[in-house]
């Protein structure tokens, strides 16, 4: 569980947030299957944004998506890095998820190229 500690120092009004307790336990509820679901939802959000506005999704939209899964984007990136082999194995065992990810990625690339 993350704890945020706010420190006010000689910086004047500048507040610094220090995250304590990040690491593998940050998202105990984020299973491999939920990670893949989030990855697909993230790509769907990106596709929708690129095809409708020709821009990436807003930070607020992405933050809202990650919040639905109880994590922050940094948690997602840490999970990605820490579980690369398991993710690859899951996608090999679930070709439908792999195809969905590849299809969305191709759609996004096409929308960006237009």
CB 4 within 8 A of CB 19: yes
CA 92 to CA 70: how far, in whole Å?
A: 26
Give pTM, 2 decimals.
Answer: 0.74
Q: pLDDT digit string (tens) for 13-51?
A: 443 333 433 444 445 578 999 999 999 999 999 999 999
Please tell me whether residue 55 adopts helix, strand or coil conformation. coil
Q: pLDDT digit string (tens) for 57-113?
A: 999 999 999 999 999 999 999 999 999 999 999 999 999 999 999 999 999 999 999
N-terminal to C-terminal alpha carbon distance within the chain: 42
Q: What is the pLDDT of residue 28?
A: 53
């Amino acid at each position: 569980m993350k704890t945020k500690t706010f420190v006010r120092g000689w910086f004047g009004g500048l507040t610094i947030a220090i995250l304590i307790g990040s690491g593998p336990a940050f998202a105990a509820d984020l299973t491999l299957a939920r990670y893949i679901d989030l990855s697909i939802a993230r790509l769907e959000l990106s596709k929708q944004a690129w095809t409708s506005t020709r821009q990436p999704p807003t930070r607020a939209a992405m933050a809202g998506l990650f919040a639905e899964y109880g994590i922050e984007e940094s948690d997602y990136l840490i999970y990605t890095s820490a579980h690369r082999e398991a993710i690859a194995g899951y996608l090999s065992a679930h070709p439908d998820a792999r195809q969905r990810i590849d299809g969305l990625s191709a759609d996004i690339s096409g929308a960006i190229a237009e």
